[in-house]
Amino acid sequence: MTSKFLRVLLAGAVILTFSALAQTGSAATPSSPAATPASPSSAPATTTAPSTGTKVGTINIQEAIFGTNEGQRDMQALQKKFEPKQAELKSQNDELEALKKQLSTQGDKLNEDAAANLKKQIDGKQKTFDRAVQDAQEDFGTQQQDVATRILQKMAPMIVKYSQDNGFGIIVDTSKPWPQSNVLWWGEAVDITKPVVEAYNTQSGVAAPAASGTAAPKTTTPRAPATTAPKPTTPKSTETPKQ
């Protein structure tokens, strides 16, 4: 859910950022003697001369942002920041699961009032836990989006420059897979994600984060442990595995 939420917000950030670049390009080409230079703080400092390229290129904006050294560093820091919250949620979950297990194993031995009280206690803790999980996910997603937006604002001019320098007339974002996007297929030869990341790393001067033994974080939101109530085991229907 959060990954989809991030893609929606990121898509909006992409549109706003490149719209600003387009406006800067228009301001760089005065249409009349009365035209005045754009304010340095109104848009990213870049020159966006009209492109004469004809090639179609692709870039995975999401991978580009979180594939940079800066993106990996900041995401690792964000994951570290949320570790106490994850530990807190795990503690709440363990307590909730213990109560559910008690109800499952001792429910038939409890009197009516005791059973009702235990069920009410479980229901209250479940609602509190679910709200805490949702709040944590939304907080994480917001801070993750802040990281993405900040990096994108600095990366956008590089994307424009690289595209112009290499004869691209249009660049398509492939962050969403088909059929969520209109891009059915593309080849590595037209994908500029890697060179843009390399250019960004060179300009930012941020060193690559130390290897942690796990894949670099991208858009993974901390997930709370499962909290489903115990259910009787029933045979699963046979389905053809999805490819």
Residue 8 has pLDDT above 70, yes or no: no
List pLDDT tens digits, range 92-113: 999 999 999 999 898 788 888 9
- Inter-residue long-range contacts of 4-8, CB under 8 Å, 24+ positions, other chains counted: 5/141, 6/62, 6/141, 6/144, 6/145, 6/148, 6/219, 7/62, 7/175, 7/176
* In the chain, domain spans: 2-29+42-204
pTM to 2 decimals? 0.66
User: Sorting pLDDT into bands at 50, 70 and 90, what band is 235?
Assistant: very low
What does the longest C-alpha to C-alpha distance in the chain come to?
90
pLDDT for residue 170: 94
pLDDT for residue 240: 46
Q: Whole-angstrom Cα distance, residue 80 to residue 74?
A: 10
Which of 110-119, 142-151, 226-235 comes out lowest in average pLDDT?
Answer: 226-235
Computed over every residue of the chain, the mean pLDDT equals 77
Buried b / exposed e across 176-204, counting CB within 10 Å, b at 16+?
Answer: beeeeeebeeeeeeebbbeebbebbbeeb
Q: Whole-angstrom Cα distance, residue 82 to residue 117?
A: 33
Residue 224 has pLDDT above 90, yes or no: no
Of residues 2 and 171, more confidence is placed in 171
pLDDT for residue 10: 53
pLDDT for residue 16: 52
Q: Note whether 221 and 144 are within 8 A (CB).
A: yes
125 CB neighbour count, 10 Å cutoff? 17
pLDDT for residue 212: 60
Of residues 38 and 112, more confidence is placed in 112
pLDDT for residue 128: 96
Q: Whole-angstrom Cα distance, residue 99 to residue 182?
A: 48
Residue 85 has pLDDT above 60, yes or no: yes
pLDDT for residue 149: 96
Residue 160 has pLDDT above 80, yes or no: yes
pLDDT for residue 69: 97
Q: Whole-angstrom Cα distance, residue 227 to residue 96?
A: 8
CATH assignment of 2-29+42-204?
3.30.910.20
Q: Note whether 186 and 71 are within 8 A (CB).
A: no
Residue 87 has pLDDT above 60, yes or no: yes
24 CB neighbour count, 10 Å cutoff? 19
- Residue count of the chain: 243
- Of the chain, the percentage scoring pLDDT greater than 70 comes to 65
